[in-house]
Amino acid sequence: MDGPKLVRRWAAAALAVVICGWLSTLAPAAERVELVKAQRNGLPPPKAPEPEPAPAPPPPDCVRAKCVALTFDDGPAASTGELLDILAARHVKATFFLIGENAAEHPELVRREHEAGHELADHSYSHADLGRASEKKILSELTRTQDAIRRASGVTPVMLRPPYGSTSKRLTRITRDLGMAQVLWTVDPQDWESRDTEDVERQVLKAARPGHIVLMHDIHRTTVRAVPKIIDGLAARGYVFVTVSELFGGRLTPGKEYVQLNSGAPQGLP
Ligand SMILES: [Zn+2]
């Protein structure tokens, strides 16, 4: 081997040592080997594998845990986006009882609710008094809402909250035939009337007990702005937040009325 060739080899070896030393400060061993191989072959460095998404934790057992279900009626509306940000920041899942005509107008918000893991449910198409409605009217109100929610999110709801809590034997039979449970509520801060953020916070924090369903309206910004303190206040008392179907262990009977979870058994209205 002649002199200049030897010098070039020594220089190449020295350069390799310097590069390896520099790489060792950047990447752990396995990745470093890949990087060096790629550099030798003139290839771009390999991409790190995508991390596997963590599996969702199982819902709590609400017979033992202090569960509360936050529910929001009458949306979606412009203020719903702000509520979704608040719920996401606190990792809280809620249940939305949607008005069909609002779901048809804001399908992107319905999709966002579903993709964030919230539960979607039916609150009639036009906020009708279903307890006084004819069979034809009930069927129209429910099926059009189901269609609007399904078109936006791919989900077919299995729960109805009749507007005003107004139900009837006819509605009970139709919801049973359509495979939908009727969900009412335990805590009502009358947020639609007061439109007072502090009053809504106070009412909910005062009345909420384990197994309760809290009724609020995400169409009012005054209510949406009460939600951070409601969540933080209840969480500080050891509550966990669940969707309505999680509250009842995922087993709701079509046609039946639910107002709260009591001693592990769903309790109907008197
Ligand atoms: Zn309503």
Question: Do 246 and 190 share a structural domain?
Answer: yes
Question: Do 92 and 166 share a structural domain?
Answer: yes
Determine, yes or no, domain membership for 78: yes
Structure token digits, residue 22: 């520099």
73 is a catalytic site residue: yes
Q: With contact defined as beta carbons under 8 Å apart, do 113 and 149 qualify?
A: no
pTM of the complete model: 0.78
Question: Do 131 and 83 share a structural domain?
Answer: yes
* Rounded distance from Cα 207 to ligand 1 centre (Å): 20
Strands (E), the chain: 67-73, 95-98, 119-122, 159-160, 181-183, 212-217, 240-241, 257-258, 260-262, 265-267
- Residue numbers of the domain that contains 112: 67-267
Question: Do 250 and 160 share a structural domain?
Answer: yes
| pLDDT per residue as tens digits for the range 165-224 | 999 999 999 999 999 999 999 999 999 999 999 999 999 999 999 999 999 999 999 999
* Rounded distance from Cα 95 to ligand 1 centre (Å): 13
Determine, yes or no, domain membership for 183: yes
* Rounded distance from Cα 107 to ligand 1 centre (Å): 19
Q: How far apart are the first and last CA of the chain?
A: 101
Q: What's the number of domains the chain is made of?
A: 2
CATH of the domain at 130: 3.20.20.370
Q: With contact defined as beta carbons under 8 Å apart, do 162 and 256 qualify?
A: no
Determine, yes or no, domain membership for 55: no
pLDDT for 44 beyond 70:
no
Question: Do 107 and 19 share a structural domain?
Answer: no
CA angle 220, 215, 93 (to 5 degrees): 90
* Rounded distance from Cα 144 to ligand 1 centre (Å): 16
Q: Which of 73, 74, 191, 218 is catalytic?
A: 73
Mean pLDDT value across residues 136-159: 98
Determine, yes or no, domain membership for 59: no
Question: Do 260 and 137 share a structural domain?
Answer: yes
Determine, yes or no, domain membership for 255: yes
Question: Do 114 and 19 share a structural domain?
Answer: no
Question: Do 229 and 117 share a structural domain?
Answer: yes
Question: Do 131 and 34 share a structural domain?
Answer: no
What angle, 0 to 180 degrees and rounded to 10, lies between the N-to-C axes of helices 135-153 and 107-115? 70
Question: Do 25 and 117 share a structural domain?
Answer: no
Amino acid at the residue 39: Q
Q: Which of 212, 217, 218, 220 is catalytic?
A: 217
Give dist(CA 171, CA 62) in Å, integer. 28
Question: Do 120 and 161 share a structural domain?
Answer: yes
* Rounded distance from Cα 163 to ligand 1 centre (Å): 5
Mean pLDDT value across residues 110-122: 98
232 is a catalytic site residue: no
* Rounded distance from Cα 124 to ligand 1 centre (Å): 9
Q: Are strands 260-262 and 265-267 parallel, antiparallel or unpaired?
A: antiparallel
| pLDDT per residue as tens digits for the range 157-167 | 999 999 999 99
